[in-house]
Structure 1
């Protein structure tokens, strides 16, 4: 009877592997004829999506934040006790990736150029980003569905997307005070303030809650996903709420107090500071991190809006 049990197990394993998926990406078409078992993630945030399907990458390209194996708290339960190779965030380490002999390389959020894609695809079948979006502006649901389909979880990806979209709509309905209010996602970088345009995923999260990103920010940004300006123009941030990417201490130390402290958004306590963890979830903007944002960020936005 043991051989029968073994045969059943073998059949189940074969069925798990037997699937076919064809995906179009910016550099061509990828056809996968068996479920990948050894997956490498080279996109900055793709490992969040991979982990959400119960797949544990054998290697993850780190982004930032000094998190264990590059995995932030909202995704660590899905990682469990796995110990993926942590790849250099600054470069694509082709030699390290090749040594792992992956079945599939996922780089949807990596903003790969064609040369990088060709080098990776020579190592293993590689999934680049979609054709219809600029770098760094791929919507979370588009990325999630692409990665889910590549891993053999298209139906689950569709369920994830539908469930989270409904959850976001429920949150929006629960907070009518957000509707029509202007908001800016602001930052300091290289001692210069700025704000993200409406095409940026962080701004789109606020828009999904009912907030409006001012047109002036988009006009200054032009074709970019963010706008930088001088401290003398901090009045651009005079909105119903300013969401600062980072801690209050970091913003205080980065800015010249005389400019920020004369602004209405400062005087009227219309600022929210994400801190490191919420800021990370905001920047990852994945299926997993958005749920973290709903729990941690939305209540704080409501407090600021109530002022």
Structure 2
């Protein structure tokens, strides 16, 4: 594996709304290159994994992994395994589908397949012995399509579309790859970093936060079960009750022009999806929020940060801890 120099990522695409650091050790986790495997495995096979679609048994260590779910590829990379096929959920472009918040990259780029409606023919041509699809729309139809090609690891039982947490994703992928021990260590390390950030910012405790996106269709807000909200609450914030009260089965609620006051909170965080930052800051409705007038609102202008914040992965959360948490603290101090 190699390490990339961060640059600005391309703007988020509408697929990020949908309804709307991974830090692999270069010395210790050398990948197997083009075969998608890894040099060593801490797990034993066969292994049986419980999913929303029933138990899935993997007889031996996978060597050709196709990672289709949101952040599945970067999670595998964090564990030292290079998928031979992957998707580009956030439309970052390039040959590997990875955002610039991911430090670890491929020795050999994967074959990129369509994100929302992956081609069964394209996947089968890669001859996978494991398909990762832990965070997607999670339909039975999608699972049936993929599982006919290779053993497929979908979301956990009881988890809604796109609502697999980073911890659940890490556990599922780690077990499937025979890297459970490494996954556990990554989880413990990141949870400690989050706890340290929370302890270092006692001013976050109990502050209500509204997390929103702005698209060509207007504003929308996120509720519990979405990785962005879960990240904020792990830092001590509380998702805005007015927003949470509108929650249904999805992780994202549309906010009409008449409802924009829902976004007025102790802290308001918003980012653009397939629109310009000026479409937010120049919107007269934005200026009606007290949080905006009192400088307690943040627009995530850097696409790389907005992407990392949305990725809800080890790498994305690590980047957000370093880059977004100081913005939150500054906004609260200013307000």
TM over 0.5: yes
Per the alignment, residue 117 of structure 1 pairs with 143
Per the alignment, residue 92 of structure 1 pairs with 118
Greater helix content: 1
Per the alignment, residue 8 of structure 1 pairs with none
Per the alignment, residue 306 of structure 2 pairs with 279
Per the alignment, residue 209 of structure 1 pairs with 235
Bigger relative contact order (CA 8 A; separation at least 6): 2
Q: With structure 1 as the length reference, what TM-score do the two structures score?
A: 0.89
Per the alignment, residue 284 of structure 2 pairs with 258
Contact 1:218–1:227 under 8 Å retained in 2: no
Contact 1:40–1:104 under 8 Å retained in 2: yes
- Pick aligned residue for 1:127 from 147, 150, 153: 153
Most deviating of 192-201 and 220-229:
220-229
SS at match of 2:249: coil
Q: With structure 2 as the length reference, what TM-score do the two structures score?
A: 0.82
Taking a change above 3 Å as real, the CA distance of residues 102 and 232 of structure 1, as seen in their structure-2 partners, is same
1:66 aligned onto 2:92: yes
Task: State the 1:64 CA deviation.
Answer: 2.6
Contact 1:191–1:255 under 8 Å retained in 2: no
Taking a change above 3 Å as real, the CA distance of residues 264 and 144 of structure 1, as seen in their structure-2 partners, is same
Take 1:14 and 1:144, find their aligned partners in 2: how far apart are those partners? 18
Structure 1 alignment gaps of length 5 or more: 1-12
Spell out structure 1 runs of 4+ moving beyond 6 A.
Answer: 13-17
Contact 2:286–2:292 under 8 Å retained in 1: yes
1:75-103 residue CA offsets vs partner (Å, 9 max, x unmatched)? 2x422332110111241111011111111
Structure 2 alignment gaps of length 5 or more: 1-38
Per the alignment, residue 292 of structure 1 pairs with 319
Taking a change above 3 Å as real, the CA distance of residues 17 and 226 of structure 1, as seen in their structure-2 partners, is closer
Task: State the 1:233 CA deviation.
Answer: 2.5
Per the alignment, residue 148 of structure 1 pairs with 174
Taking a change above 3 Å as real, the CA distance of residues 171 and 148 of structure 1, as seen in their structure-2 partners, is same
Taking a change above 3 Å as real, the CA distance of residues 89 and 254 of structure 1, as seen in their structure-2 partners, is same
Query: What CA RMSD, in Å, does the superposition of the two structures yield over aligned residues?
Result: 2.1
Select the structure of larger CA radius of gyration.
Answer: 1
Contact 1:195–1:226 under 8 Å retained in 2: yes
SS at match of 2:236: coil
Task: State the 1:294 CA deviation.
Answer: 0.6
- Pick aligned residue for 1:173 from 199, 217, 222: 199
Residue correspondences, number: 293
Most deviating of 193-202 and 95-104:
193-202
Take 2:325 and 2:282, find their aligned partners in 1: how far apart are those partners? 29
